[in-house]
Chain A
Amino acid sequence: MDNNIIDEEVLKELNNMPVDELEKIQAKIKEAVKEIESLKEGDIYE
């Protein structure tokens, strides 16, 4: 269940972040999503 909860604190933090900081965080997020998606697609259950 915790996996789904969007943390309000995180949103506030993002709202107050400068653009260059946002860029860095977004790049990290994209990287993490990519890894997770590749794990989902890969043959992880065999």
Chain B
Amino acid sequence: MSSISKEIEKAVQLKTQIEEERPKAKEYENAIRYISELFASYTNAPDINSIFDSLFYQYYVDQIQSIVGEDYRISDEIRYLNCCTYFSKLADSKETALKITRSSINRELEGATDEKGKEDSEKKLRRFEDAVNVISNATIKESSYLLVNCPTLEHRNFKTDSLSEAASSAYKNYSEYTLNSVSTKLKFYDNYIGIIKFNKKLESLSDEDIIELYASMPNITEAIKKADIAISNLENEKETLNKELENKKSEVKIPSAEEIENDEKELKNIYDNIAFLGIDPEQNQRYISAKEALSRKKAMIENPESATEYSMEVSNIESQITEINKKIEEERNRKSSVENKEGIKDMPREEIENRLREASGLDFETLNILKNSNSLQYQSYNYMVQRDVINDILRKNESDIKIKTEKIEEQKLGLSRLIQDKEKLETSITELDSTIEEIKSKNEAISNFYNDPKLNYLLQLGRVYTMEQPKDITQEEINLASSFATVESEYEELITGLVLKESNNIEGELRIITRNAQEGRNNYDSWVEKLNNPSEKLSFGEKHQLKKSISFYEKERKAEDDEIIEKNNNFNNIIQKYISLCYERDKVILNYAKQNCAEAYEALKNKNTQGAYSYYGNVSRGLSVSSILCSNSLYLGAPLYGLRELNELRQRNEYQLNYYNSRISSTNEYIETLEAEIKQLQEKNAAERAYLSRLEKGELYPSLEEQALYNQLDTSELDINSEEYESEFKQQLGIGEESVGKTR
């Protein structure tokens, strides 16, 4: 097989390999994601650099050995030394990280109390071991994607949720880079063959044939066609401008008084006609234009200098027309120069050949580079290819930076909404505090009412009358009975007011508590639905956020909210009935007391002491019963109950406030991550640009002298891990600390 056929076959194989690697890369990405999540969940560590790095330990070793073995470069050697130091630090963390995760799962397995828990843990352990195997066995390109995407070994700082995205992005970069490279190389060969064919064709042509060929070149005929189109467009433009010029010129003339008079009549006609149609002429474009034109003419009479402005416009149009005329002339010349075979006849053959080369679209510049071929010039060309690839990477990174910047704006917007919600919540907590205080004082008032000595005395009095022998009524007792009636009236007012007010309070607060619980539960349901809905195209970051919210809610609120919702469904009905029953009951007792009070008072006035005792006894019994009931019922209980619920509501708001604070903090963290990623991309771009600049200056490839020096080195007995070796090595090569940071 010829060399070129091998090259083509190699390119096709590479393409096939990339196609085949795709599912492996996906599997690899999933494995990384799974291990990352497990590790993060067991250690609560958002940064899993150690496990991530350690998983690539073997890959790095293989990679570097292959670099040293096959295609040695100075910068690679320095990187190798750096890597060796780095790996020595990582060797322990690999085992530690995996051990932590594995033993955590084992602990779960041991602690599982039921069959299902045991089964789940066993499943998890199997998945974990599979994932570790996938990553450990990744000897092909999957793992190199990550390496390619990392600017330097020391600066990798992936967070859990961006790790698999980084893996995916690295795979894309790697594939794009490889495909671009092979495609560029094949295009070069294509171009090279084109040039050989072109040169052979030229050699075989006579002078006459060459002129004919020139005239028939697609580029030439295309150029003529283009010139024709350009001329036609310019002519059209010129015609439009000429019309405009005529109009302007007519406006420049200072109008006569008669012309103004005619225009005014015409304007009035237009006005009348439009108004006749029922349209407001001031809104009609025709009327407005005519009116403006008349105003301009009038202004020109009043101020003839305004005509100068028109003159300037006229002059401006005239100069545009002159410019177009020039362009038309240029296009005509261009057309004539490509058409003119006669002119070509007089040219030296070499000149015609040059024109043909120019018109061929072939890349002769590359050919010139290769004319004086030697190793360094080939490398220069190869670096040119790299330059194109680097420019592609730069463009891609710039676009990533733009997307991430937009994401930051979006997050900031969300943040401002969160802060607003948080402020509302804080206001609500302050309001709750004041309501709680208010209810506390109400409770105190109610307690005071029951502790009122006057009421107690009356109750005692009632008992005395009931239990002791009748005696004469004193004036004091008559007065007391009178005040008793007043107390009874206050009592009635209080009962009525409290029952209504407190029932409203309870209902209101219950509604708030239940609404909040229901809202929390609804949010939770929507998160779960969104997460499990395959049609939602969620990014990994979004999924992670949802999972975090779901787990947070399940841990902190779900049970309580469910209980509140369930309780409330029953309780709402019960409380209504209860309030209503209490109200009715107390009204009956009160009426009974009122009636007996009135009777007792009447009896006292009539000196009917026996009757009065009897009535007082009734009142006392009634009030005693009522008092006992009151202490267990809503009068006292309702505000207390309300207070408890309000305190719960306040607690809940505190919880929500914490939740908002946590969201704000995680959003800020995300923004910081994005900013760090942007910074990393910018640094990467700066490094790429610096690399590109050195590439263009020819600084990167070792000189022939350096190559010769390297070939003389015997590295077989050196400890290449040692600092001495690095230092000696640099000294021999006469270079400073340098790391290109890229394997290309």
Contacts and interface: CB of A to CB of B under 8 A. Distances in A.
Chain B residues touching A, range: 35 or more
A4 B386 contact: yes
Secondary structure dominating the interface of B? helix
Given A5-B378, A45-B22, A37 B181 contact: no
A10 B7 contact: yes
A10 B18 CA distance: 25
Given A19-B197, A33-B190, A44-B22, A6 B183 contact: no
Interface in B150-197: 168, 171-172, 175-176, 178-190, 192-194, 196-197
Contact of B382 (A4, A15, A23, A26): A4
A11 B193 CA distance: 9
The 3 A-B pairs at the shortest CB distance, nearest first, are namely A3-B181, A10-B3, A4-B382
A36 B175 contact: no
A14 B3 CA distance: 9
A36 B182 contact: yes
B702 to A, nearest CB: 14
Contacts of A14: 4, 189, 192-193, 196
A29 B179 contact: no
Interface in B1-48: 2-5, 7-8, 11-12, 14-15, 18-19, 22
B200 to A, nearest CB: 6
Contacts of B4: 10, 13-14, 25
Given A3-B178, A6-B381, A10-B7, A29 B190 contact: yes
Interface string A1-41: 11111111111011101010011011011101101110110
B195 to A, nearest CB: 10
B382 A5 contact: yes
B370 A45 contact: no
A39 to B, nearest CB: 6
Contacts of A35: 12, 15
B362 to A, nearest CB: 12
Contacts of A6: 185, 188-189, 370, 378, 381-382
A17 B196 CA distance: 9
A18 B187 CA distance: 20
Contacts of B168: 45
A40 B182 CA distance: 11
Interface residues of A, number: 32
Contact of B186 (A19, A29, A39): A29
Interface of B: 2-5, 7-8, 11-12, 14-15, 18-19, 22, 71, 168, 171-172, 175-176, 178-190, 192-194, 196-197, 200, 370, 373, 378, 381-382, 385-386, 743-744
Nearest to B389: A4
B12 A4 contact: no
Contacts of B11: 32, 36
A7 B386 contact: no
Contact of B15 (A11, A17, A28, A39): A39
A36 to B, nearest CB: 5
Contacts, number: 104
Q: Which of A13, A14, A22, A29 has the most CB of B within 10 A?
A: A29
A15 B371 CA distance: 12
B72 to A, nearest CB: 11
B189 A36 contact: no
A44 B190 contact: no
Contact of A32 (B181, B186, B194, B385): B186
A36 B196 contact: no
B193 A25 contact: yes
Contacts of A15: 196
Contacts of A25: 4-5, 8, 193
Nearest to A30: B190
Contacts of B178: 3
Contacts of A30: 190
Q: Which of A1, A7, A23, A35 has the most CB of B within 10 A?
A: A1
18 contacts: A3-B14, A3-B182, A6-B370, A6-B378, A8-B378, A11-B370, A13-B2, A13-B3, A17-B196, A22-B193, A26-B193, A26-B194, A28-B8, A29-B8, A29-B190, A39-B18, A45-B168, A45-B175
A2 B7 CA distance: 11
Contacts of B176: 40
A6 B190 CA distance: 12
A1 B178 CA distance: 9
B90 to A, nearest CB: 26
A28 to B, nearest CB: 5
A36 B12 CA distance: 8
A46 to B, nearest CB: 9
Contacts of B2: 13
Nearest to A12: B3
B179 A36 contact: yes
A3 B11 CA distance: 8
A20 B599 CA distance: 134
A46 B373 CA distance: 43
Contacts of A8: 373, 378
Given A3-B181, A4-B184, 18 more contacts: A1-B744, A2-B71, A3-B178, A3-B185, A10-B4, A14-B193, A17-B196, A25-B4, A28-B5, A32-B12, A37-B183, A39-B18, A40-B179, A40-B180, A44-B22, A45-B168, A45-B172, A45-B175
